[in-house]
Amino acid sequence: MCRLNGRVALITGAGAGIGRAVATLFAAEGARVAVADCMQSSGDETVDIIAKAGGEAIFVRADVTRSADVRNMIQSTADAFGRIDILHNNAGINSPIKTIADMSEEEWDAVIDTDLKSTFLGTKYAIPVMLKQGGGTIINTASFMGLGAQAYMSSYCVAKAGVIMLTKATSAEYHKQGIRANCICPGFIMTAMTGPWAQMVDMEKAPPGTWGKAEDIAQAALFLASDDSSYMSGAALVVDGGYSAEWIVPLK
């Protein structure tokens, strides 16, 4: 317990799902938490959960696809807590389940902006704060679909592959200046966002056999945020129940 005592964590998409699980766990481990989300009601709920458990948190409203909002999110967190030790770029959306030919340009842009551009913006504006204070750690939510393509989800796969490469590039540029950057590649995690997939995926035929929980990803994020991973940077940590370890061969 208390592996994050004295640290300040900013988590995007923290109003629900993985983001909320990370925010509440980080607070339980001693961090002061900035809960960033585009929905105030959801963000306020996360802050309330943290407060009732004895933690400290604030809500910052942000559309993470907008540069001005992300810049304000970073500044508001630094103003409130004096520093940012941990940034978790977690906010994201799913791809429309369509072929490449059927996907509109607007649908493509929405996923790329929310899942990839937002990670760039968060990283871009957090780095000067972290450099000024002498370091920090950046955690990005990628996906096992960034490691291998899934039919009918091209924009999501491309965005998450980009998150993995952005993570590595961030580490390459800033590791020697005290900033670690790693990403998590979740598999099938049951959240409100992935709920529609539950009707389409036969988990009995998938290697894990069951859906993962948001708390599984939160534990991985805690490891990357803490000193337990002090020698890790530029890594893509796969948390998918073994899904990507096995090729599914269509045997007769």
**Catalytic site positions:** 156
The token pair at 181 is 């950057």
Phi, psi of 57 (to 5 degrees): -155, 155
Angstrom distances, CA of residue 45 to CA of 37, 42, 76, 169, 216: 11, 5, 19, 35, 21
Query: In one letter, which amino acid is 228?
Result: D
Q: Are 195 and 168 in contact (CB under 8 A)?
A: no
Question: Which parts of the chain are beta strand (E)?
Answer: 8-12, 32-37, 56-61, 86-89, 136-141, 179-186, 236-239
Pairing between strand 86-89 and 136-141? parallel
CA 87 to chain centre: 9
Tell me if residue 14 falls in helix, strand or coil.
coil
CA distance 55 to 59: 13
